[in-house]
Structure 1
Amino acid sequence: MTEEQKRRLEQQLWNIANTLRGRMDADEFRDYILGFIFYKYLSEKMLAYADSILEQDGLTYLSIEEAQAEGEEILEAVKEEAVAELGYFLRPSELFGELAKRGGAKGKEGVSTFILDDLTRILNNIEQSTMGTDSEEDFDKLFEDLDLQSTKLGRNEQAKNDLIVKVLTHLNEIDFELYKSDSDVLGDAYEYLIGKFAAGAGKKAGEFYTPREVSTVIARIVTTGKDRLKTVYDPTCGSGSLLLRVAREAKNSEEVEFFGQEMNRTTYNLARMNMLLHGVHYTRFDIRQEDTLEHPQHEMDRRFEAVVANPPFSAKWSANVTLETDNRFSQYGRLAPSSKADFAFVQHMLHYLDDNGTMAVILPHGVLFRGGAEGHIREYLIREKNWLDAVIGLPANIFYGTSIPTCILVFKKCREKPDDILFIDASAHFEKQKNQNYLRPDDVDRIVTTYRDRTETEKFSHKAALSEIIQNDFNLNIPRYVDTFEEEEPVDLDAVTAELKALEASMAGTDKTIADFCAELGIKAPF
C-alpha cells in the first residue's frame, strides 16, 4: 500500500469516527471506534486462520453449518486450534462482516435489523473463549468500555442500534489488507487515530499518548548500538505506542518482548488492543494494570534491556515511609517528594534496567535543578553511580495537554563514555502547526545523530566533564552547559544621532506649519 493509500485509509477511519462526534467527548467516542476496529481486526484474523486450516478439507469457514451436528464438531476442532494460536475464538456468525450485514438488512418498516444484543453477546463471547487459557489475562474485560446502553448513542434502543449499524457498515467497507504478511497498515492507522483523539482530549491526552516524533527519538536512542533487542519495558505505557516504536527500531522487531504497566483501566485496554492490532502475539506482551509506584506488577528481580517512559509530569504519590526499604528506593537515602513523583519514576525504572541496557525518560525541566530530596537523588545518580548519560532539552508545547518545556534523560549502568555527560539543547528546533509544535524529521535526525556520535556543536550540544557538573553543584539546567545566547548586532551610535537630528529638524518644520495655521484661525498654537 502506498503512502497515499495509507493516508486515505486513515482519513476514512477518522471520517467514520466523526459519525459519533458531537454526541460525546473525544475520549468517549475514541473507545467506541477503536473498539469496533479491534473487533473487525479479530474477525478478519479469525476468518483467515480458519480458512487456512480448513483448506485441506475443501471447506471455508463461512460455509460451515452451525446448526448441524457435523458443523458444530468442525467448529470445536477449529476453536481448539484458534485459541492456542490466536488466543481467542469467534464463530462464523459472530464475525464482524456477518454482523454488519445483518444490521444493514432493513426490516419490514425500513429500519435497521436490531443487532445490539447480538453485539453485546459476541464481545462477551470473545472474552469467554479465552477463559482458562494462556491468553485469558490479555483479553480479560477488553471491551468493557464499549457501553452499548449509553444514552449518548441515542434516545432509544432503535436510535442506538441505527447509529452502531451505520458505523459498522462503513467499517465493513474498508479492506485492512491483513492478508499481506508485510503489511502493518491497520496498526499505523490505529496509531493515527490515537494521535487524532489525543489532539482533542486536552489534558487527558498526556495519559495515553506520546507524540510519534518524540517516541522515535527515544526509540532510536535506546536501540543505539544494538543489533538485536530482547525486551523493552514501559512502567507508564499508556496506549503502548512508545513500546511499539522501540521495537520498530530493532532489527529483530518480530522477536522483541513487551512489558508494561498502566494505571488507567481504559488506557490499559487500549494498550492491549494496540499490541494485538500490530500483530504482536499474545505470548510476546505482558501488560499489567495497577499503580506502578505503589504496586509494581512485574517481578522485582526482572531486568529489561530497554526501559522507556513518558510518566505523568510532577504527579503526586504517597512517598510512604515504608517505601524507604523498597529495593527500588532504598539505596538513595531519600524518597522523591510526595508532590512530585518524577524522580520516583526514575528510581523505579533504573531498578528494572539491565546492566547492558539503556533507559530514556521524558520529564519536566524541574528535575534538572530542583533541590531538596530531588537534588539529593540527582547528586547520588551522578556522583555515586555515574549512570546519567545525556540530557536532551525539547521544545515547549510539543505534548498534548501541556505547553511546558520538557527534557529526555538518558541513563546507562555501564556507560561507554563515563567521563562526561552529553547536553543537547533542541528547544529552538521545531515547526509550529496551529497550536502545537512538532519535531521535524531533520530535528529528530539531528538529536539522534548528536547523541550517537556525542558531537559538540556550538549553541546545540556540549560534553560536560563530571568536574563541570560538580562545579555547578549538580545543577543540570541546560543553559549552564549549552550557550544559546545570540549577540545582537552592534548599534551605530553616530547613525542614531544623525537620525535623531534629522527627526528634530523635520519636527521643527512641522511645528512652524501648524503655528501658521493656528495664527490664520486666530487660535493659540498647541505648543
Structure 2
Amino acid sequence: MTQDINFMTKTKSLIDNLKSVCANYGLGNDGNEFKIITQVFLYKFLNDKFRYAVKKEMPKLAEAENFSIALKALSEDNYSDLIDALDPNIPRLQPEHLISHLFVKQNDSDFAKLFDDTLRQVSIENADVFSVKSFTGAKDTLFDELTQFISDSSQRDAYAKALINKLFEFSFEEMFEQKYDFFATIFEYLIKDYNTDSGGKYAEYYTPHSVARIMAQILVPEPVKGVKCYDPSAGSGTLLMSLAHEIGEENCTIYSEDISQKSSNMLRLNLVLNNLTHSIPNIIKTNTIALPSYLDTKFEYIVSNPPFKLDFSDFHADLDKDIFKKRFFAGIPNIPKSKKESMSIYLLFIQHIMYSLSDNGKAAIVVPTGFITAQSGIEKKIRERLIENGWLRGVVSMPSNIFASTGTNVSVLLLDKKADNQHIVLMDASKLGETVKEGKNQRTVLKPEEEAKIIDTFNQKIAVEDLSVVVSKEEISAKNYSFSAGQYFEVKIEYVDITAEEFSEKMNEFENNLQSLFAEGADLEKKIQENLKNLKFN
C-alpha cells in the first residue's frame, strides 16, 4: 500500500510538472494543453512499457549502463528477432525513439524538430495498433507535432528540452505489475482539468466509479472468457474499464463508438493504462445513432451512460431509413418546435443497445429515472418490449445527485436475454449515500458497504423492506409496465387494539373537531359575503 501511494505521488508530480512547463511557455489553460499533457504522458508511458518488455525479453540489456546505446548495438537480425518476440500490445520503437536518446541530444540545434519528428515516426510505425479510426476507416495521428503549439518559434527548442527533462526524471517501469485500481486513479487525475464537454455532441466523460462498479459487478457475478464488451457512447471509458476489470482484461475485447475525438483519445489512453491496448483498433469515432460501425456485430456485454437530451434534428430524417426500422422499433422522438436541445436521444441509445445484444447478451444502461414510470410514448413501448421478450433483469434507482454534472435523478436498467422472468429485482436506493460538496456542486457518494448491499441484494434476488422487491413479469404488466420499486412496496398499516369505550371516545372527539371546523368555515364564509357587499356598495 505504501509503495502504491509512493508511485501515485510520483506520477501525479510528473503530471503537475508537465502542466508547469505548459504554463511557463504560455500554454496553461490553452485549448491545446489537453493534447500536450495527454500525448506527452502517453509517449512517456509507451517508452517505459517498451523498455520494460525488452528487458524482460533480453535481461542483459537491463544491466547496460545506457539502455538506448546497448539496444542500438544489437545487430539488425537480433533487433528484428527481439521486436518479433514482444507481445503485440507492446509499442514498436527504435533506439532513437527513446527518451534517453532524446535526453542526450537535447543541446543539438533544432531540437524541437527532432522531438516532433520522433513523435511522428512513433505514430507511423505503431499506427496499426494505436490509432483510433473514424467511421470511414481513416486513422488518426497518435501524436501531434507538439512544439508547433508554441507560436514563438524561438522558444520551441527550450520548450521541447523542458518536456524531455521532466520525462527523463521519472520511470513507470516499477509500476507495470500494478493493476487497474492504481491506474484508474492516475487517469482520473490526468484528465480532471479537461473533463468537460466543450461543445462536443456526445459523451459524459465521467461516470462515478461507484456506479461503474455496481454495474460491472451485477453484470458479471461469475467468471467468463472470450467475450466482446461494447459501449456506444463511451466517453473516457470509465464503464468499460470497470467492466473489463471485473471480467479480466485478458478475457475480453473492448469495442466502442463515440462522436467526440477528445473522448476517443481519452479512451485510448485509458486502454493503454489498463492493459487493453489490443482493443484500441476497435475504438471508432462516429455518430453511433446515424452512422453506426458495429450494426452487424452482436455483443455479450454492453454498458452505457448515454447523453439524455440532445438536438439531433440535423440527422433525424436519416433515422427513418429501412435499414434502421428494426433497430428503432419503438419509434424516434419527434422534433419539437422549440427547445430542440431537449430531444430525448437516450431512447435511441436504449433501442440501439437492445438491437446490439447477442443471444445471451447482458447490458447495464444509465437512464433518467422518469423513463421507468412514463405512462405512454416511446418509453412505455420499450418497457413493454423488454417485459414481453423477457429481457428485464431489474432496475436500480440511484440517489439524487450521484452525478455531480447533472441534477437529473438516474436509474440503472439491467438487461439480460436469459433473465429469470419470475424474479425481477426492482430497487430504490435513493435513500442511500451521503452528501459531499465538490466545488459549487453537491454530490451524493455511496459508502463501500452501501455499494456491496446494492450488489448483493440484486444478485441474490432478495426483497428488503424499503429497498427492493422481487416481482414477476406478470406483476409488472399489471402495473402498466412500471419499473419503479416504490409502486410495488406493500402499504404498511399499523393496527392498535382498543376497547369499545376508547373507540367511542375517539369517534366523539373526531365529530367534535369536525363540527368545530364546520363552524369556523361557516363564520369565514359569512365574513367573505359581508366584505363582498361592502365592495359593491363602495
> 2:172 aligns to what?
176
Verify the 8 A CA contact 2:203 2:234 in the aligned structure 1.
no
- How far 1:79 moved relative to its partner? 8.1
- How far 1:352 moved relative to its partner? 1.8
Q: Please, which runs of 5 or more residues in structure 2 have no aligned partner?
A: 336-342, 495-538
Q: Which residue among 163, 166, 183 is the counterpart of 1:187?
A: 183
User: CA 1:428–1:447 in structure 2 vs 1: closer, same or farther (change >3 Å)?
Assistant: same
Q: Which residue among 204, 209, 222 is the counterpart of 1:207?
A: 204
| Distance across 2 between alignment mates of 1:98 and 1:246 | 38
| Distance across 1 between alignment mates of 2:168 and 2:60 | 28
Q: Which residue among 87, 90, 93 is the counterpart of 1:90?
A: 93
- Secondary structure of 1:207's match? coil
Is 1:216 matched with 2:213? yes
Q: Which residue among 477, 486, 493 is the counterpart of 1:470?
A: 477
User: CA 1:371–1:307 in structure 2 vs 1: closer, same or farther (change >3 Å)?
Assistant: same
Q: How does 1:216-235 map to 2 (within 5 A)?
A: 216-228=213-225, 230-235=227-232
- How far 1:285 moved relative to its partner? 5.9
Q: Greater CA deviation, 28-37 or 140-149?
A: 140-149
User: CA 1:137–1:396 in structure 2 vs 1: closer, same or farther (change >3 Å)?
Assistant: closer
- 1:107-164 per-residue CA deviation (whole Å, 9 max, x = no partner) reads 9xxxxx7633222211111121135x5666679434356753235xxx6234455455
> 1:397 aligns to what?
401
Q: Which residue among 265, 271, 274 is the counterpart of 1:269?
A: 265
- How far 1:276 moved relative to its partner? 1.9
- How far 1:244 moved relative to its partner? 1.7
Partner amino acid for 1:410? L
> 1:504 aligns to what?
none
Verify the 8 A CA contact 1:26 1:201 in the aligned structure 2.
no
Q: How does 1:236-275 map to 2 (within 5 A)?
A: 236-250=233-247, 252-275=248-271
Q: How does 1:78-227 map to 2 (within 5 A)?
A: 81=84, 85-86=88-89, 88-100=91-103, 102-103=105-106, 115-130=111-126, 140-144=139-143, 147-151=146-150, 156-159=152-155, 161-178=157-174, 180-182=176-178, 187-194=183-190, 196-197=192-193, 207-227=204-224
- 1:399-450 per-residue CA deviation (whole Å, 9 max, x = no partner) reads 24322221110011111x2025322122222232223332221221121111
- Secondary structure of 1:233's match? strand
> 1:34 aligns to what?
38
Verify the 8 A CA contact 2:327 2:352 in the aligned structure 1.
no
| Distance across 2 between alignment mates of 1:216 and 1:85 | 29
Is 1:320 matched with 2:317? yes
- Secondary structure of 2:45's match? helix
| Distance across 1 between alignment mates of 2:325 and 2:462 | 33
User: CA 1:294–1:270 in structure 2 vs 1: closer, same or farther (change >3 Å)?
Assistant: same
- How far 1:291 moved relative to its partner? 0.8
User: CA 1:312–1:16 in structure 2 vs 1: closer, same or farther (change >3 Å)?
Assistant: farther
| Distance across 2 between alignment mates of 1:195 and 1:448 | 29
- 1:290-334 per-residue CA deviation (whole Å, 9 max, x = no partner) reads 111111112x34222111011112233334365463367457252
- 1:321-373 per-residue CA deviation (whole Å, 9 max, x = no partner) reads 65463367457252344521112111111122122231001112232234554
Q: Greater CA deviation, 15-24 or 198-207?
A: 198-207
Is 1:62 matched with 2:62? no
Q: Percent identity?
A: 20
- Secondary structure of 1:397's match? coil
- How far 1:74 moved relative to its partner? 5.6
Is 1:341 matched with 2:345? yes
Q: Which residue among 46, 49, 61 is the counterpart of 2:50?
A: 46
> 2:278 aligns to what?
282
- How far 1:38 moved relative to its partner? 0.8
Verify the 8 A CA contact 2:254 2:279 in the aligned structure 1.
no
| Distance across 1 between alignment mates of 2:416 and 2:121 | 46
Q: Which residue among 394, 410, 419 is the counterpart of 2:414?
A: 410
| Distance across 2 between alignment mates of 1:423 and 1:27 | 44
Verify the 8 A CA contact 1:88 1:130 in the aligned structure 2.
yes
| Distance across 2 between alignment mates of 1:194 and 1:43 | 18
Q: Which residue among 448, 456, 467 is the counterpart of 2:463?
A: 456
Partner amino acid for 1:15? D
Q: How does 1:493-512 map to 2 (within 5 A)?
A: none
> 1:364 aligns to what?
368
User: CA 1:322–1:425 in structure 2 vs 1: closer, same or farther (change >3 Å)?
Assistant: closer
| Distance across 1 between alignment mates of 2:82 and 2:122 | 11
Equivalent pairs counted in the alignment come to 470
> 1:441 aligns to what?
448
- How far 1:8 moved relative to its partner? 1.9
- Secondary structure of 2:46's match? helix
Q: Which residue among 352, 356, 362 is the counterpart of 1:352?
A: 356
TM-score (norm 2): 0.75
User: CA 1:466–1:86 in structure 2 vs 1: closer, same or farther (change >3 Å)?
Assistant: closer
- Secondary structure of 1:332's match? coil
- Say what the alpha-carbon RMSD is for the aligned residues: 3.7
User: CA 1:11–1:481 in structure 2 vs 1: closer, same or farther (change >3 Å)?
Assistant: farther
Q: Please, which runs of 5 or more residues in structure 1 have no aligned partner?
A: 108-112, 488-527
Partner amino acid for 1:430? G
| Distance across 1 between alignment mates of 2:34 and 2:490 | 44
Verify the 8 A CA contact 2:228 2:254 in the aligned structure 1.
yes
| Distance across 1 between alignment mates of 2:180 and 2:434 | 28
